[in-house]
Structure 1
Amino acid sequence: MLSPVSAEVVRATLPVVRDHAVEITGVFYPSMFAAHPDLLDLFNQGNQASGQQRVALASAVVAYAGHLLDPAAAPFAPIAERIAHKHVSLGIRAEQYPIVGRHLMAAVGTVLGDAVTAEVAAAWDEVYRLLAGELIAAEARLYERGGVDPLAPWRRWRVAKRQDEAVDAVSFTLVPDDGDPVPDFAPGQYVSVVVDLPDGHRQPRQYSLSQGPARDSLRITVRRVRGRDDAPDGVVSNHLHDRLHADHTILVGPPAGEHTLAPGTGPVLLVSGGIGITPTASMLDHIARTDPTRRVVVAHAERSRDRHALHAEIDHLAAGLTDTDVLTWYENGGDGRPGRIDLDAVPLPEGVTAHLCGPLPFMRHVRDGLLRRGVPADRVHYEVFGPGMIDNAGGIGAASGPSVPPVSRTGTPW
């Protein structure tokens, strides 16, 4: 809880900080990287170049400050859980937080200048220290629960199998190269992988696990990111497609992610767009192996059949269930992404819990349709690939400003 003095200062200065938050984080990142170039290996440089990461960090700090001022109106626990899982997947350590704090506060002073009095600096430093403490504690619990040493989170895995799934989509089945057991995970979680690029830089990315747990391997399914509208190709996805083959090894972090299959035996709706089918495949695989009588509806949208990754596997798994529907829409959304799903054609069993994964506009459309048809908001869960946003009411937004907190899982929120 903020001290009364700091709370008064933060309340008075929050509008100014909000208005300049992206400018502040824009100063923060170059300063921190110049002083600590090793931290470049922890950040998705594509999101850095696009500016999305600056928005994500600005949003997180502003959202947390609002939460401290009014916890009931601005709950932060789901955001903290999301960030903590992401940090654990990357091996973020407690001793790195003060580095971020120093450079972030210096950036505040650089941007706001003389407006940052000693009292203002102390109040916002308190906000950051409270945020850091909350995240460090959450991450420590996750490290302990997963049996992960934060000083050595990365393990070397060998590619046991590489399989083309569709146009620009390939699966890698991974087995431990160190002989240690395959970690347990929850259906819907992801892992970070690290690649050493030809320019000497190391880059991490997160990929959903595309098969269920309790096997002797992990599997990721990666879509090659092709640049469009002057954006470059995805560096890591193209590296994996072009250079990672059977018997090669790769560094992999621990499974993480809070968007997991709803517990219990109630009906489930799995909705995906494009490569968002990967967590659907993991969840469906788990259901088929552990609860084949559970009512399941699978709905997927793709640009075309030849781009539909894992479709044969999804059909095979669904055939092993006793009560399932599988619906597919093939349509180009006009921006190179899958088109919309006709929500009125999707069966919605009583008490259904929905899991969504795909591009932000796609998921906004799906979520709005589900709410319109009476599915409660707390039964609509979703996974966002990239630094997307969730608004304070729980709706899916866009990375457009610092008024909403981040749900990115392709880099840190810093």
Structure 2
Amino acid sequence: MQQEVIIVGGGMVGLSLALMLAKQNIAVKLLEAIKYPNYDDVNLAPYHSSFDARNTALSRRSVHIYQDLSLWETLQPYATPIYEVNITEQGGFGKARLLAQQEKVESFGQVIENAWLGRVLLTEVRKNPLIELIDGVQVTHLSQDDSRVTIKAEQGEQAIALQANLLIAADGRDSFCRQALGIGADVHDYDQVAIVTTVQTSKPHGHVGFERFSPLGPLALLPLPGEYRRSVVWPVKKGTEHEWLGSENDQHFLDALQQTYGDRAGKFEKTGQRFSYPLSQVLAHKQAVGRVVLMGNAAHTIHPVAGQGFNLCLRDAHVLVRYLVEQRDQQADLGDPNMLLAYEAARLKDQKRVITFCDSVVKGFSNQNPLLKFARNTGLLAFDLIPGIKPLVASYAMGLKA
């Protein structure tokens, strides 16, 4: 039985999902609104709207997924393992520390720059004969009946009409497909903007990742390839981002990092260009309607405070592929609405756990009330001292308890 699958949205989730399906001999049409960059220059990693200045902390589960796709050997040179995680609060006494060696794992995960991850994924997609890549195309219409999904799109002046048994909408936080289906979403604006960049420090990173909660916002500092390079993700109050952007504010930004973080990294010597991204939580009311399933940020966009968003999306994709392979092996309909509802139900527990955790951390550490701050730091001490808590938290963070 020849069946068609269309993925709308060619960001890192869409590309990864297309490769997972192709590995299972399921053909895919992948549509992306933006024209992809040309990677002819092997030394160039140009930013693309989906492969931007941000970095991704891949959990161990995510690394395993890319190993199964035979991609990790290509990705590894651009990734840096995390052997230790430290969590502290500026002006507080508590500290939580996780060591990969104590948890008997090689690492907690790997940090990779989105520009390189996207480049590798796109290169593999372009080589794969089971994936038809259509970029620079804008979807303008989506409808479905009992047997097919129909989309209409425009590629320049050319009109395109496509039909499929199954459509996977991975077209981002403001998903056209979600809106076209009439699926509502709960939106919470965190009133924050993430400042993202890379920095160079005088002390080597030692493969240690830091989360430092401060009055300005939760600062994440993660190791990157190169002994002294680190990625910075720093959510700050919306409206203050102009203080940190632009080359004229380089030293001001470095000074603020130094004051917030202290001397654990030595001196913050250089900073790259800073980029800013507004932060909000967007949760779709439904993730499966008829023959369409939402994936990635179209289904759930969450705060980056714990680096769990992309890893959650990859787990979603991995489980969806498992359901589709079972359908294929039984010669059943890949777009069966009941199967898609079963997939959605299977993923809700993991999704709710991650979404609730990230939201609670943001809200819990944003209040500077002295009593709450004392309670938070007491909790950090308890985390570090009470037996049994660390292995449980570490396994969840690595995506192994999903």
Indicate whether the TM-score tops 0.5.
no
Structure 1 length as normaliser, TM-score? 0.25
Structure 2 length as normaliser, TM-score? 0.25
Structure (1/2) with the larger strand percentage: 2
Structure (1/2) with the larger helix percentage: 1
